Structure 1
Amino acid sequence: MLTIGDLLPDPRTGARPSENNRVRALSALARRAEQAGLDVFALGEHHNPPFVTSSGSTLLAYIAAVTSRIVLCTGSTLITTNDPVRIAEEFATLQHLAPGRVELILGRGNTEAVYPWFGKKAEDGVELAAENYALLHRLWREEEVDWDGRFRTPLRGFTSVPRPLDGSPPPVWHGCVRQTETAENAARYGDGFFISNLFIPMDHFEPLVELYRRRYEEHGHGRAEDAVVGVGGQVFIRQRSQDAVEEFRPYFHNTPVYREQTSLERVVETTALSVGSPQQVIDKTLTFRERYGDYRRQLFSLDLGGIPLDTALEQVDLLGEHVLPVLRRETASGQTGAKLVG
């Protein structure tokens, strides 16, 4: 499951949760996701209203304490405005608290106003992402680091502590919306490539995935078809498709990522959004392999747009009971070794 932790009133009732209720709801969703058999809980980072997810490592550390199995992932960590030293420290610490359950999706962030709040410039976003990740990559793999870069103070003989658990850095995915540089960076390091396709037509991502797969192989990490691709999306499920569409429509128009769109039907047709019966969600999700090839992770957003906690929990249960078993069975011949669904 993927959540960006938006704090919005329910458009159907006008009820608005408090910040405290919304933050605690994220923990409740993670616990229910684990109980329902989902493999991953991913938490997006935002520093501006209407979101409550400014401190992902804190939230995931709490969730680690109330769960036992589910993978704790960021979705995403802002590699542009966060200090790579702090990222290295915080998520290595989380590894020690939740062994084998910590992963990161790194992203540039799509809110330009955030950059100056952290002393950065939005126009430097691509270069910041590349330089900061180069440092983060070294901090987790080298005991002492000497570093000179354009965007931060130099380091001399610096050791990031604690060290990654058992010497193994957390797995990293590079989240992409538009930039070919993101695909190239993921391929260069042999990391995962996660397409953040919540609101952009799926056609847009096909050449990016193709580029990543080709460059992954050219960089010597393995065959293009074995490259580590992840796919996002949103679902809203009811047993009858008409009920799903009727109930979800107000949330669609209330959701930040869809507010520029005028037609729910058009967005369902062109993007990864699925609204309908369990079978409709299954059928659409299975088409993603036709576009992107076999891939290793599928994350679903279930709580955007002011969807209340009770409804979001129902969505988790419907996904776990009716959709995930079929998806796992139907994709069992693909990259099953690392396939995680959430």
Structure 2
Amino acid sequence: MQFGIFTVGDVTTDPATGTTPSEHERIKAMVRIALKAEEVGLDVFATGEHHNPPFVPSSPTTMLGHIAAQTSKLILSTSTTLITTNDPVKIAEDFAMLQHLADGRVDLMMGRGNTGPVYPWFGEDIRQGIPLAIEKYALLRRLWREDVVDWEGKFRTPLQGFTSTPRPLDDVPPFVWHGSIRSPEIAEQAAFYGDGFFANHIFWPKEHFQQLIAFYRQRFEHYGHGAADQAIVGLGGQAFIRPKSQDAWTEFRPYFDNAPVYGHGPSLEEFTDQTPLTVGSPQEVIDKTLTFREHFGDYQRQLFLMDHAGLPLKTVLEQLDLLGEHVVPVLRKELDAMRPSHVPDAPTHESLKASKDAALVGSQA
């Protein structure tokens, strides 16, 4: 079971102090948060991709490459790589380069994003979002798996005799998760290729995502990648932790009430009741996170959103100390003990390379 954090990289005014960080301060803070994630024993750091204010992470691989140079164990990922508006050739090159720099500690999450204007900014039509995601990802897979690619599609110029460089490390492409909050077509795409499916269910009630994940598991089995309960599932989550529950509620409330995404909407009580958001003690975070398995089955990756809504860096680092010391060790032990032996771990570069090498030996026997 992998545990980690993801960031959306928002630049938001701290409602407690009225202070707004500069873009420079926020970018540096995200790097510090990633380093802290490794320090406290988390497995994954994932950054979003945005091209509009008030967000700063427009170049995920630049940031992750910088973090790679300062870490040794942390898996570096994305919480969205915009497959619809990025060129698959550039994605193939950027993430293969990052693989080499990070010695394989890389995977990524494909998504369409939730900002409509980004499509025309990059010359695309939002009405073609699903077809773009399907066609571009099919090309990306070929670029990573074939040394020379001839290709022609609907949404970009053809390729003739093209070789993407550098080639993936050890000839093993990065593992891909497909993220979606509403589209069964994306769950179908993930299942077709035997990739992972990530349900970032932080905004909607669990019943919606239960349907999406059940559909993905069913189709994963249909395509012959394994039993439904062996499908590779990741989940989002949110938490604000203090040793005493009431202190957590008092401190976090102004940040929730003014958050750019859900502020001025449902009350904090309503939101914690209907979504994975947990505000309280470490034990309360543990208890609620353990219910995710009851709702969705055994899964492989749990990411928490911890650094949003204007929370100051000092507070976020304190949150990560609590998460790493008091929450994740218990969750790791409990969830690993409950997981049946036939349910796999999340793929890593090492496990994918071992599978590739074993298949090669088998074909030569």
TM-score by length of 2: 0.91
Alpha-carbon offset, residue 339 of structure 1: 8.5
What residue number does 2:113 align with?
109
Residue identity matched to 2:35: R
Corresponding position of 1:177: 181
Partner of 1:9: 13
State the 1:257 CA deviation: 2.6
Q: Which residue of 1 aligns with 2:345?
A: 337
1:192 to 196, 208, 213: 196
Where do 5+ consecutive residues of structure 1 fail to align? none
Question: Which residue of 2 is the match for residue 247 of structure 1?
Answer: 251
Aligned-partner Cα distance in 1 for 2:67–2:25: 15
Distance 2:311 2:182 in 1: 28
What are the superposed Cα offsets for residues 216-260 of structure 1, whole Å, 9 maximum, x if unpaired?
000010010000000001110001111111111111122233136
DSSP 3-state at the match of 1:156: strand
Once residues 71 and 257 of structure 2 are traced to their aligned partners in structure 1, the CA distance between those partners, rounded to angstroms, is 33
Aligned to 1:338, the other structure's residue is in SS state: coil
Give the equivalent residue in structure 2 for 1:100.
104
Q: What is the letter of the counterpart of residue 100 of structure 2?
A: H
Are 1:295 and 2:299 matched, yes or no? yes
Aligned match of 2:35: 31
Amino acid at match of 1:251: Y
- Kept in 1, the 8 Å contact 2:230–2:344? The answer is no
How far residue 8 of structure 1 moved from its aligned partner, in angstroms, is: 0.7
> Residues of 2 paired with 1:242 and 1:303: CA distance?
20
For 2:354, the equivalent position in structure 1 comes to none
> 3-state DSSP class of the match of 1:80?
coil
Unaligned stretches of 5+ residues in structure 2: 349-365
**Does the aligned pair in 2 maintain the 1:198–1:257 contact within 8 Å?**
no
Q: Is residue 138 of structure 1 aligned with residue 138 of structure 2?
A: no
Question: Contact 2:175–2:347 at 8 Å: present in 1 too?
Answer: no
Separation (CA, whole Å) in 2 of partners of 1:243 and 1:201: 26
Say whether residues 1:57 and 2:64 are aligned partners: no
Q: Tell me the residue number matched to 1:159.
A: 163
Measure, in 1, the Cα distance between the counterparts of 2:264 and 2:128. Answer: 26
- Partners of 2:55 and 2:295 lie apart in 1 by 32
Q: Distance in 1 between the 2:112 and 2:51 partners?
A: 13
Q: 2:307 & 2:257 partners in 1: Cα distance? A: 14
Whole-Å Cα distance in 2 between the matches of residues 339 and 91 of structure 1? 16
One-letter amino acid of the structure 2 residue matched with residue 70 of structure 1:
L
Q: What value does the CA root-mean-square deviation take over the aligned residues? A: 1.2
Corresponding position of 1:46:
50
By how many angstroms is 1:147 displaced? 1.0
Q: What code does the residue aligned with 1:255 have? A: A
Q: Structure 1 pair 118/339, CA: closer, same or farther in 2 (3 Å)?
A: closer
Alignment partners' CA distance in 1, 2:255 and 2:88: 36
Equivalenced residues, count: 340
